[in-house]
Chains A and B, each alone.
Chain A
Amino acid sequence: MDWLTMDLIVARFNYWVYIVLMMIGLYAMIAKNNYMKKLIGMAIFQTAIMLFYVSIGTKKGASIPILDHHGGEHGAGSAHIAGEAALKVGEAAAAFPEAAAAAGTTNPLPHVLMLTAIVVGVATLGVAMAVVQKINDQYGSIEEDEVLKRIKL
């Protein structure tokens, strides 16, 4: 029992949160009758995935991923090295002394990916709301059963 609570729930708390949120969103998308409520479900569903991504990039006690270097020429130099062809991972670590410091910082990549996903989510929501408005203009309702009744007529 102790193993269950510690290993399955506490250690994987972030995954539980995302799964619960995702199921709430999925339930609303499938079971709700009102189109706006379906869209709210969709937003929750997408947000759950963003939380999942953000949580996998963080570490306990890690700092923000900003390089602490003095002198401006360094940035240009590393960009030049990155442009060179065929860098293996090991060589890349040697080329970037900062890579050693990566252990102490959070992983920024999932966070950056989610910036894109947020934009996509907003755009999807916008398109979907425009479509709901069109449905409302056409059938005079945004309740699914009402709309279906009017389609059958």
Chain B
Amino acid sequence: MGYCPEHDRFYEDLTPLQFVALLTRLHGYSTEQARKLSRQALEQVELTQKIDKPIRTLSHGMRQRLKVAQALAHEPGWLVLDEPLSGMDPVGRARMIRLFSKLSGEGTAVLVSSHVLHELEAMTTDILLLNKGRLLAQGQVQAIRELIDGHPHRIALQTDEPRDLGRELLRYDDVVRVEVAGERIVVETRSPDTCYNRIGELASGGDFRVRSMVSLDDNLEAVFRYLVK
């Protein structure tokens, strides 16, 4: 198994190559094999600069990639990654996501733990939702969304008449709550499809001008929030 911890901690005086090679040796590889595998892993995460400089001189993104490199250098069958994209720039994130997909395609079981749930959506459709060691839900995002149909769904609207629109929507039984903040209102409904249709009808009928309509509950963060309530 390969494990990439969340914490940004290292043996700071070692170089990236020494760090990865030393840990790889603990898997029973010879010094030469460990160095070779370590170079390969550092190339995989595109950490080819500063591999002979002390770790303390690396940028945050480089350190993050180094953690991933030490986890995969010994070619594990399982890869457990705890917040692996934390602190990376968008380009770095995209590269890492590609790497994890490639490893997964080659037969490595990749398990990613993240609180930044939209990152997970970019990597997989299969998720486990855990809270304090308890499994809350398991399966595809869509299936999990269906599990929470009983919970109110939130829709954010931008309109010129927020109070009037809010008052109109509250007349319907499926609407649980309306929050007004300036020209923005957030509607909580137990029947999202009906509510979307109704708002569409009100807007197209010319009763209200709706400039934007966004579901606040389309991502995993929302699913998680509902499930831990």
Q: Answer whether A and B are interacting partners.
A: no
Chain B contact residues, CB within 8 Å of chain A: none
Chain A contact residues, CB within 8 Å of chain B: none
